[in-house]
Every structure is written in structure tokens, then in C-alpha cells.
Amino acid sequence: MSRRTGAAVKTGLGERAGRMPFVVMKFGGTSVANVERIRNVARHVKREVEAGNKVAVVVSAMAGATNQLVAWVREASPLHDAREYDAVVATGEQVTAGLLAIVLQSMGITARSWQGWQVPIVTDNAHGVARIRDIPGAALRTRLEQGEVAVITGFQGIEPARNRVSTLGRGGSDTSAVALAVAVKADLCDIYTDVDGVYTTDPRIVPQAKRLPKISYEEMLEMASQGSKVLQTRSVELAMVHNMRVRVLSSFTPPEDVTPVDPATWDRIGTIICDEDEIVEQRVVSGIAYAKDEAKITLLNIADKPGIAAAVFGPLADANINVDMIVQNLSADGKSTDITFTVQGSELPRALEVLKKVAAKLGAFDIKSSNDVAKVSVIGIGMRSHAGVAAQMFKALGEKGINILAISTSEIKISVLIDAAYAELAVRTLHGLYELGKD
């Protein structure tokens, strides 16, 4: 049963009779890496337009462009103003949106580029990691209804109080696409990338990985949040809340080999992210995710008394630092103990700053930290009803000599923290263990 009981389960596209599907198409960085690839993207768009479908396109910056912009900001000053960071890094998408509109026009298609603020895509004020609050978009909808293709910059919006450009966090164009699909009531949100779907694990690490024809919102949410960067976590959350169908497919499949979105055939290629009730064939484990951007912090000889955990984790939460796994040792003498936990690797310097202040207040404790750790996760909704998945996992890792530093679980996921050097071996081992490469 779906956790969202009562939510209407869609049965197909084009439910409103006589209406051609309304599609949002998103193209990631590798798909728009140069003008030739932008022409290829335009051919995908043209196919949909010629079939009579209404199309809004969301584009990322050219591959590597955002990294370059971020590097320039950091070079300018390691401690920089978040609003100016956004002013710089949002520019990558402006280039590709304009170029795609130009190419589409040159093919005889009515198209216009839109920057986030022009739509407008309204966000909160958390610059660099902003969340979309609203997409009023009446003008956009009118133009789409008239058959004009809208090419919209992904990854960005506008923070209305200060009237500043904001960005949604790395990989945020996926979220722009899903949010727009929800706002314009699209039938489908197609995410075109450099792989032809969501695989049982990253196909770059395990060549035997298999494409999943369908994956549930819940599993995809865990995959994304545990490190599978094929979709930004927030985009899956949004799709799940609004029951928006998302399909992941490759822009490198020749445009003429892809059938225009059609109620009868749309689910024959790529991976559909959908309600679990729509998935007939269920496995216990659906996929393996890994995250290398992890850091481990250990507090040694910290007082073992009520209120200590709150005193440590409260200030970290106040600083907006997400703590993931937490392990507290049994105290041998009843007076002091050790606590180990993980944060995102990029948050480590800030976390250490906060903890130094905590240590000064609580009485000294030692702090050890390391960036050389990775998290590997096994995900599957079948775990709700099957015991023994964790035991098998720990045994297989043990047999490969991989030491587990911390463990965390949810109803449909088991994650272990291990030495970063073993991350790929662990992913391959677990992929084999659960026979995910088999048909």
C-alpha cells in the first residue's frame, strides 16, 4: 500500500480526453555540453512539438561550467557572500537557455528563453541551497498554451524580499523541472541525462548494473539522498508529494529512436519513477547507493550524563549542519564516553568550528575527524517484509575484510560507513550479493 493513502493513482497520460500530453523536458550538463549537443537536444524537443505535445524545457549549464564558476568564487574569497555566489553561479544556465532558444528558432520552432526570475520561480532566502516556494507563472502558461516552447534556466529562482537571484543547490535543475511540471500541471517530467535510466547502482562503477524500468518514489528518494546523483533528492520529494510522474532517459539515444510522448507507449523506455502500487515485480533490494562526500567526527572522553547529546547536536542543528549517522559507545567507567557521527564532507570545517565552541562550554573533550570515509547503502521496499538483509550485508562485507565504522537504517534502507578506499569494492560486493545484475 502506498504511504500516501487516499492519493489518486494515475493510470496513464492524456487522461483529460482529447488533450495532447503536456511535457516538461530537462537536459543535464553533459547533454548541453557544446553547441552540437544543444542541436541534438533541439531535435528531441522538435520531435515532441511536431507530435503536437506542449513542451517546456529546463536546461542545466554546460558540463563543467558550474564547477568553474564555483571555483572562481572560491578563488575570489574562500569566505564569500552567499547572494553574490548565486549571482555568479546562476549564469551558466543563462547561456544554455539562450543558445537552445536560438537553435530551436533556427529550426523553425517558436521558442523563447526564460530566466528563473522571469517566470518567476519564487524561492526562500537560503542562498546557495534555496527552496522553491511558488511558481505563479501565468504568463508562462499562456505562452505554452499558445504552442510556444519555453526554455527555462534550471537551478535558480528569485528571492522576492531582496529581489535577488537564488540557486537551489548542486544538481538543482532536476528540482526546477519537477517544480515546473507541477506548476503547469504537466502530464510527465522527462529528465534527459547521460545514462538511459536509473540503474541498480551507478553503471560507471558496476558495468553489470541493470536499468530499472520502474522505481518507486520512496526507493528513488533513498537512492538520491544516499548519494545516487542521477536525481537531486528534493526533486524526488516534490514528485512524490505531488504524484508527478518522472521519467529518466538518455539524450544520447538518437532523437528519431525515441517515440514522442504518447499515452500508449510512454513507459517503454527509460525509468519511470512512480507510486509503488504501479510496480508489479518487486525485489527485496532494488539498488545500491554510495556517497563519498562524507566526514566522520568522534568526540572522545565526553561526559556521560543526561543532556549531553542535546548540548552537542543542538548547536550543530542551529548552524544548519545535517548530522547523519550517530554512534555512542557504552561508557566503561560511567563517567565519560565517546560519540561518533557523520556530516557532509563539505560541512566538516564548519562543524569543527561549532564543536570547538561546544567543548569550551561543556568542559574539554577531544575531537577527532576524518574525510576518508564513504557511506554505502542498500535500498529496497521489499525490506519492509523481509528479515535478514542486514545480516547478509554485514557478512559479505566482513568476508572482504571491509570494516564497518557506523550503521544506520530506515524501513527500506541500511547504510554503513566504511573506509573510502573500500567504497567501490563494497558497492560491487553488495551488487553481486543481492544478484542485482541478473535479469
- Closest CB 329 distance from ligand ASP, rounded Å: 38
Interface with ligand ADP (CB under 6 A), residue from 55, 198, 308, 405? 198
Q: Which stretch binds ligand ADP (CB under 6 A): 201-209, 334-342, 345-353, 395-403?
A: 201-209
In the range 156-175, which residues lie near Mg ion by CB under 5 A?
171
Of 188, 179, 174, 178, the residue nearest 59 (C-alpha): 174
Residue 202 binding target from ligand ASP, Mg ion, ligand ADP, none, CB below 5 to 8 Å by type: ligand ADP
436: Cα separation from own chain's centroid: 22
- Closest CB 173 distance from ligand ASP, rounded Å: 3
Q: What is the CA radius of gyration of the chain?
A: 23
Residues 209, 428, 373, CA angle at the centre, nearest 5°? 125
> What are residue 215's DSSP bridge partners?
273
Residue 96 binding target from ligand ADP, ligand ASP, Mg ion, none, CB below 5 to 8 Å by type: none
For Mg ion, the closer CB: 120 or 171: 171
The site string for ligand ADP over 155-194 (x = CB under 6 A, - otherwise) reads: ----------------x---------------------xx
- Residue 4 CA to residue 73 CA, distance in Å, equals 42
Residues 98, 103, 105, CA angle at the centre, nearest 5°? 95
Is residue 60 involved in binding ligand ADP (CB under 6 A)?
Answer: yes
Q: Cell 536546461 appears where?
A: 59
Residue 155 binding target from Mg ion, ligand ADP, ligand ASP, none, CB below 5 to 8 Å by type: ligand ASP
In the range 24-43, which residues lie near Mg ion by CB under 5 A?
28
398: Cα separation from own chain's centroid: 30
Integer distance in angstroms from the first to the last C-alpha of the chain?
26
Q: Is the peptide bond before 120 cis (omega within 30 degrees of 0)?
A: yes
- Closest CB 174 distance from Mg ion, rounded Å: 6
Beta carbons within 8 Å of 134's beta carbon, 6+ residues apart? 122
- Residue 107 CA to residue 283 CA, distance in Å, equals 45
Q: Residues 140, 184: contact at Cβ < 8 Å?
A: yes
For Mg ion, the closer CB: 131 or 143: 131
What distances in angstroms separate CA 269 from CA 248, 255, 265, 301, 439, one per listed residue?
Answer: 9, 13, 9, 55, 17
For ligand ADP, the closer CB: 126 or 205: 205
For Mg ion, the closer CB: 177 or 358: 177
Is residue 199 involved in binding ligand ADP (CB under 6 A)?
Answer: yes
For ligand ADP, the closer CB: 99 or 195: 195
Residue 61 binding target from Mg ion, ligand ASP, ligand ADP, none, CB below 5 to 8 Å by type: ligand ASP
Of 380, 423, 379, the residue nearest 403 (C-alpha): 423
In the range 213-252, which residues lie near ligand ADP by CB under 6 A?
228-230
Residue 62 corresponds to which cell in the numbers above? 554546460
Residue 40 binding target from ligand ADP, Mg ion, ligand ASP, none, CB below 5 to 8 Å by type: none
Q: Cell 503547469 appears where?
A: 184
For ligand ASP, the closer CB: 29 or 380: 29
Q: Which residues bind ligand ASP (CB under 6 A)?
A: 28-29, 60-61, 66, 92, 154-155, 170-174
- H/E run at residue 63: none
- Closest CB 231 distance from Mg ion, rounded Å: 7
- Residue 245 CA to residue 15 CA, distance in Å, equals 13
- Closest CB 409 distance from ligand ADP, rounded Å: 20
Residue 199 binding target from ligand ADP, Mg ion, ligand ASP, none, CB below 5 to 8 Å by type: ligand ADP
- Closest CB 28 distance from ligand ADP, rounded Å: 2
Q: Residues 156, 59: contact at Cβ < 8 Å?
A: no
The conformational region for residue 214 under phi > 0 = left, psi -120 to 50 = alpha, else beta, is beta
For ligand ADP, the binding residues (CB under 6 A) are 28-31, 60, 171, 193-195, 198-199, 201-204, 228-230, 287
